[in-house]
Amino acid sequence: MSTPTISLTFLLLIIHATVLLVPSQSSSIIPSRYDGFVYKKRAASTATVMIEAFYDPVCPDSRDSWPPLKQAVDHYGPAVVSLIVHTFPLPYHDNAFVTSRALHIVNELNTSLTYHLLEAFFKHQEQFYNAPTINMSRQAVLDQVIGFASGTLGNSLKSAITSGFKDSKTGTKTRVSFKYGCSRGVYGTPFFFINGFVLPFNDDAPIDFDGWKKIIDPLIANKHQHYPSSVF
Ligand SMILES: *[C@@H]1O[C@H](CO)[C@@H](O)[C@H](O)[C@H]1NC(C)=O
Ligand SMILES: *[C@@H]1O[C@H](CO)[C@@H](O)[C@H](O)[C@H]1NC(C)=O
């Protein structure tokens, strides 16, 4: 009889310790601004349909989902739809974190360039897949990422991007994005939220332009209406 009692006490201690620890940890990672890259520097607004995408720059499914999403966001325009992209580097993609960090670094340097680099990573992501980089040192991969980013955006940025990788703050930002995704239950990419509500994860076919229209159109139509009581 005594063994279960001891383990229960122990369990309660652990739970108590966890409860004590979690708030202090989570408050310390709250960023000074909402996480993510706002599309076209438009202010993301709750007066619009707000789409959030969690993307891994070296994930093929993220890549495939981007053109139709971009087309839809451009189609509706900033008064109707806003978009925020968060990085979510998947642990089984070896170079997901370093490429995500490059996006955070570039976003700090010039927010106009972030999506340009994201699209370049999508377009040429094969060179950062696991197999072609398996024999490379982490330093060699880092050099390749820096070379790729500055080659894409302009070699005048090379030293700033290189220093960005030496600045621990950019690593922290990349971790915060990841932790934010975890806190919202993200477990794959691409992963979407509309007005804060999760879109069921689907890793088969990307949502095409018509698919996005089917999601967005009813939300616009209902904007000024009350919910039917049957919803509740
Ligand atoms: C940021 O990038 C844009 C687009 O290339 C450029 O027009 C602008 O001058 C840059 N801003 C700064 C502060 O470098
Ligand atoms: C990596 O190294 C192994 C062992 O030397 C070699 O067999 C393999 O072909 C190399 N792979 C690449 C992608 O260079």
- Encode pLDDT of 48-96 as tens digits: 999 999 999 999 999 999 999 999 999 999 999 999 999 999 999 999 9
Q: Is residue 112 part of a domain?
A: yes
User: Which ligand gives the minimal distance to the CA of 135?
Assistant: 2
Phi/psi of residue 87, nearest 5 degrees = -85, 140
User: Which ligand gives the minimal distance to the CA of 140?
Assistant: 2
> CB–CB of 45/84 below 8 Å?
no
Q: CA–CA separation, 173 vs 182, rounded Å? A: 14
> CB–CB of 170/25 below 8 Å?
no
Per-residue model confidence (pLDDT) at position 20: 45
Per-residue model confidence (pLDDT) at position 27: 55
Assigned token pair, 112:
């106009």
Q: Is residue 229 part of a domain?
A: no
Helix pair angle (96-109, 138-153), 10° resolution: 40
| Cβ 132 under 6 angstroms from ligand 2 | yes
Per-residue model confidence (pLDDT) at position 205: 85
Q: What is the CATH number of the domain that holds 157?
A: 3.40.30.10
Assigned token pair, 186:
């993200």
Per-residue model confidence (pLDDT) at position 24: 47
Which atom of ligand 2 is the closest one to the Cα of 133?
A: 13
Q: Is residue 159 part of a domain?
A: yes
**pLDDT by residue, tens only, the chain of 232 residues:** 444 455 555 544 444 554 444 544 545 678 999 999 999 877 778 889 999 999 999 999 999 999 999 999 999 999 999 999 999 999 999 999 999 999 999 999 999 999 999 999 999 999 999 999 999 999 999 999 999 999 999 999 999 999 999 999 999 999 999 999 999 999 999 999 999 999 987 767 889 999 999 999 999 986 655 454 444 4
Nearest Cα residue to atom 13 of ligand 1: 110
| Cβ 134 under 6 angstroms from ligand 2 | yes
Q: Concatenated DSSP letters for 161-199?
A: HHHHHH-HHHHHHHHHHHHHHHHTT--SSSEEEETTEEP
Q: Is residue 18 part of a domain?
A: yes
Strands 81-87 and 37-38, by their bridges, are antiparallel
Give the residues surrounding ligand 1 with Cβ less than 6 Å away. 110, 112-113
**88 burial level (CB within 10 Å; 0-12, 13-18, 19+):** buried
Q: CA–CA separation, 103 vs 202, rounded Å? A: 25
Per-residue model confidence (pLDDT) at position 224: 55
- The structural domain count of the chain equals 1
- For the whole model, what pTM was predicted? 0.86
Nearest Cα residue to atom 12 of ligand 1: 110
Per-residue model confidence (pLDDT) at position 129: 98
> CB–CB of 24/170 below 8 Å?
no
> CB–CB of 189/62 below 8 Å?
yes
Q: Is residue 188 part of a domain?
A: yes
Per-residue model confidence (pLDDT) at position 1: 41
Q: CA–CA separation, 161 vs 147, rounded Å? A: 9
- Contacts of 149 by beta carbon, 8 Å cutoff, 6+ apart: 102, 105, 106, 117, 120, 157, 161
The pLDDT mean for the chain works out to: 88
Q: Is residue 2 part of a domain?
A: no
Q: Is residue 166 part of a domain?
A: yes
Nearest Cα residue to atom 5 of ligand 2: 135
Which atom of ligand 1 is the closest one to the Cα of 154?
A: 5
User: Which ligand gives the minimal distance to the CA of 110?
Assistant: 1
51 lies in which domain range? 8-221
| Cβ 140 under 6 angstroms from ligand 2 | no
Q: Is residue 198 part of a domain?
A: yes
Nearest Cα residue to atom 10 of ligand 2: 135
Task: Tokens 């030496």: give the residue.
Answer: 166
- Measured in Å, residue 135 CA sits from the centre of ligand 2 at 6
Cβ count within 10 A of residue 147: 14
